[in-house]
Amino acid sequence: MSSPNESESRPPRRNYRLGARAKAFQQTRMTILRVAAEELFNERWYDEVSLTDVARAAGVSQQTVINHFGSKEGLYLAGIVELIGPEIERYRSRARPGELTSIINTAVGDYEKTGLGAMRMRAQAERSDGVAEAVRYGRQFHRAWIEKVFAPQLASAGTDRAPVVAGLLVTILDVATWHQLRYLDGRSVTRTKSDLRHLIEGVLTRAGQP
């Protein structure tokens, strides 16, 4: 028989069960998110993915998906906000400010993984206010990233020219430009990087950069 002190020090069984249940809940949520965001929505158009597809790929019931995310749009947006967005931010943080090769390699490396999904998301934004808001956030993040990694060049451009130069750099390194070069023009990754460098150098040269 255990002593009173031993009974008091032992954690309540109910709390243990609740903790295990919460952990399992989060693990299931993350499994669903990864399957949806990194596989299904990244490889197909939004309309081509059903909750049944997600449930089957994640190994859960459709009701479980609904319990976690409410709807397909809720699942789609959660994947962007909780998974894809933070992963893009972490990946882009590797770019070294002022170094063109590092900046271009980082942007193209990002788009090679997420670019097609981003283009599909932009198309979907025309039919979903929630997705449109996510796209607006993505554009704001991209501009802030451009202003950060090109800070040395923008500082040299001067106060009046810097916003114009930044806007041009935002366009050059936009996912749509990458998509044009890679998929519509059929450029290789290496050629795409070279073309982007030429465009960037042209803008910086006209802005008075060395």
Is the pLDDT score of 185 beyond 90?
yes
H-helix segments, 59-128: 62-69, 72-79, 85-92, 100-124
pLDDT above 50 for 170: yes
pLDDT tens track for 97-111 = 999 999 999 999 999
Rg (CA), the chain: 23
Whether the pLDDT of residue 17 is over 80: the answer is no
Find tokens 């409410």 and name the residue: 70
CATH number of 1-79: 1.10.10.60
pLDDT at site 23: 81
pLDDT tens-digit map of 129-166: 888 988 999 999 999 999 999 999 999 988 889 999 99
Classify each residue of 64-82 as buried b or exposed e, where b means 16 or more C-beta atoms within 10 Å of its C-beta. Answer: bbeebbeebbebbbbbbee
Q: What digits encode the pLDDT tens for the residues 59-87?
A: 999 999 999 999 999 999 999 889 989 99
Domain boundaries, the chain: 1-79, 93-210
pLDDT value of position 210: 45
Please, which residues have CB within 8 angstroms of residue 96's CB and are 6 or more apart in sequence? 102, 103, 149
Which residue is associated with the tokens 């998110």? 33
Task: Report the C-alpha dihedral over residues 84, 89, 94, 98, rounded to 10 degrees.
Answer: 130
